[in-house]
């Protein structure tokens, strides 16, 4: 099984849709995804993710599934973290080693918190969906149902920055703060996760990142990457609201 995690195009958050650049990104993204031969497409409930998927859905003819566990991840956090969540001051989120350890959920900041309740509720939704496709979580390992031994599906998730890093945390059994602060997912990028089967036991698989934040579809067309999601300006990146972005001639 292969999962493709796709962040929406450059966003117009006020209207929950895409900017001019975002629509260009979505148009370039669609044939890129078609070449990867998706079998299933899943969408966030939000407009900017659904708008990004429109052209891909037109080209593939796939009827999408819509899940609230793919929406932007805005679960509330306890102090010392503020509402920015994945943009916390580095001096804060690196302060306690437990927050970035295997037992991060046992920290007082997370244990019994609304944040962790929503995280685990959303993970249950993800796990239930993957179980329908033959892959059942068992800690860091995934058990593959025998009827799926020779099935190689490609599933696309159209979602958001916060959701994409949360999916990485959940799929890779990674502390959420590490995924949220040390991975960045550009707009319209494709992150590919392969559930690799063990050569010692066909019933066991483990998810591996084969491609992270791929925007080759933008680079090939000469469209600069959007800096949406970075707190500071980045050289060579454009703002989501920049109306002057043009494709290379």
Query: How many other C-beta atoms lie within 10 A of the C-beta of residue 147?
Result: 8
Confidence of residue 84 (pLDDT cuts 50, 70, 90): low
Euclidean distance between CA atoms 173 and 161, whole angstroms: 18
Strands (E), 116-153: 135-138, 141-144
pLDDT of residue 137: 97
CATH of the domain at 37: 3.40.50.1240
Percent of the chain with pLDDT over 70: 95
Q: Is residue 227 part of a domain?
A: no
Asked if residue 237 belongs to a domain, the reply is: no
| Residue 244 is assigned to a structural domain of this protein | no
Does 241 have pLDDT greater than 80?
Answer: no
What pLDDT, on the 0 to 100 scale, is given for residue 246? Answer: 47
| Statement: residue 192 has pLDDT above 90 | yes
Residue 90 has pLDDT above 60, yes or no: yes
Q: What's the pLDDT band for 239 if we cut at 50, 70, 90?
A: confident
> Which residue in 238, 214, 215, 218 sits closest to 228, CA to CA?
238
Q: pLDDT at residue 36 above 70?
A: yes
**Residue 229 belongs to a domain:** no
pLDDT of residue 242: 61
**Residue matched to tokens 């003819």:** 61
Query: Which helix (DSSP H) or strand (DSSP E) does residue 131 occupy?
Result: helix 114-132
Confidence of residue 123 (pLDDT cuts 50, 70, 90): very high
Question: Looking at the domain assignment, is residue 80 inside a domain?
Answer: yes
What is the C-alpha end-to-end distance of the chain, expressed in Å? 38
Identify whether 115 is part of a domain: yes
- The reply to whether 233 falls in a domain is no
Q: Which domain holds residue 158?
A: 2-221
Q: Is residue 167 part of a domain?
A: yes
Specify the number of domains making up the chain: 1
């Amino acid at each position: 099984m292969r999962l493709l995690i796709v962040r929406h195009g450059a966003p117009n958050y006020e209207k929950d849709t895409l900017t001019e650049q975002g629509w260009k990104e979505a148009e370039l993204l669609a044939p890129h995804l078609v070449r990867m031969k998706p079998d299933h497409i899943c969408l966030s409930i939000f407009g900017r993710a659904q708008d990004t998927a429109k052209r891909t859905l037109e080209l593939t003819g796939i009827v999408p599934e819509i899940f609230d566990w793919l929406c932007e991840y805005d679960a509330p956090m306890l102090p010392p973290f503020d509402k920015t969540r994945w943009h916390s001051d580095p001096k804060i989120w690196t302060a306690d080693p437990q927050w970035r350890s295997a037992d991060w959920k046992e920290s007082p900041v997370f244990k019994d918190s609304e944040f962790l309740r929503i995280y685990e509720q959303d993970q249950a939704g993800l796990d239930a969906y993957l179980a329908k496709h033959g892959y059942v979580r068992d800690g860091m390992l995934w058990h593959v149902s025998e009827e799926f031994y020779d099935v190689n599906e490609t599933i696309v998730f159209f979602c958001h920055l916060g959701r994409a890093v949360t999916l990485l945390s959940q799929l890779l059994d990674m502390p959420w703060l590490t995924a949220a602060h040390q991975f960045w997912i550009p707009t319209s990028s494709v992150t590919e996760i392969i559930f690799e089967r063990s050569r010692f036991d066909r019933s066991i698989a483990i998810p591996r990142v084969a491609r992270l934040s791929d925007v080759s579809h933008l680079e090939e067309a000469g469209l600069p990457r959007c800096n949406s999601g970075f707190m500071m300006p980045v050289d060579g990146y454009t703002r989501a609201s920049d109306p002057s972005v043009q494709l290379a001639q």
